[in-house]
Amino acid sequence: MMQFTVDTADGGRPRDIEEPLNIAVIHPVSRAFLPVAVKLHIPPNAISIAGIGFGIVAAWAYFHYETPAMALAGFAAMLAWHVFDGLDGMTARATGRTSEFGRFLDGFCDYSVFILVYLSLAFAAKNEAGLAISLGAAVLAGAAHVVQAAWYELQREVFMRRSAGQPGFVPRTAVGGFLEVGYNALQAKLMPGAHALDAALGADPALRALYVERMRPVLSAATILGASGRTFAIFIACLAGSPLWYWLWEILGLSLAAVLIERARRQREGAFLEA
């Protein structure tokens, strides 16, 4: 029988499907603060909410993105938010305080930070492209961001559960009201045919091991859609002189990447179903 292992990174996800910036910088720093958070009995949800403070600082700094020092300050503030974003989950797992509401709150705070930064950049760029264009581009990029992130987060969760011998697609209990109901519905539409593959993998451990090996490169490629990559891209676009470069990257570049990666995923999963 084929054997397989999953090497987990500091953030609790398999290392080979984790975002490079998380592995290199963010999660090591988060883990350094973990003993302090545990010792002080800081609630994981409080850490999630506190991270929004860095999002506010980032939005303020990026409003002045034309000054390189302010763009750097915005980038640093977003990195600090990422550290908190990693720390809340680590603290929850270390103290046995994981919950459905905590998962929802973590995601809500994540999107709140990006909304703040996107709006700040849109209004900051109004003199360059006009408010209608900059705000329209920000809204379109935000919509693309939501769809891409919903797909990416779902793929990671499904891969991790299947790697552990569990059904990949599991309906969630919606604790976040209509926002989470809509988000869960979006994710369900982004992964048709999941139950059939779950049944096939559950009946054959050797097939599941092969699935992990075949799908790992797809999930590794999908890290380009991660949050830390967007943070870095925003910084580079601002240094290049215009957040419009980021909007183009999000709307065109990342959307194309998502389509190609999803195509590869469906082809590989389809091969398992045919087998």
- pLDDT per residue, tens digit, the chain (275 aa), is 333 334 444 446 778 899 999 999 999 999 999 999 999 999 999 999 999 999 999 999 999 999 999 999 999 999 999 999 999 999 999 999 999 899 999 999 999 999 999 999 999 999 888 999 999 999 999 999 999 999 999 899 889 988 888 888 776 776 777 777 888 788 777 776 677 788 878 778 888 888 889 999 999 999 999 999 999 999 999 999 999 999 999 999 999 999 999 999 989 888 876 76
pLDDT recorded at residue 3: 34
The answer to whether residue 10 is domain-embedded is no
> Domain total for the chain?
1
pLDDT recorded at residue 262: 93
The answer to whether residue 84 is domain-embedded is yes
- Identify the CATH number of the domain in which residue 34 sits: 1.20.120.1760
The answer to whether residue 234 is domain-embedded is yes
The answer to whether residue 75 is domain-embedded is yes
pLDDT recorded at residue 179: 78
pLDDT recorded at residue 192: 67
The answer to whether residue 157 is domain-embedded is yes
Report the distance separating Cα 37 and Cα 51, nearest Å: 14
pLDDT recorded at residue 5: 38
Decide: pTM greater than 0.75: yes
Q: Which domain does 141 fall in, by range?
A: 15-274
The answer to whether residue 1 is domain-embedded is no
pLDDT recorded at residue 219: 94
The answer to whether residue 5 is domain-embedded is no
pLDDT recorded at residue 93: 94
pLDDT recorded at residue 1: 30
The answer to whether residue 2 is domain-embedded is no
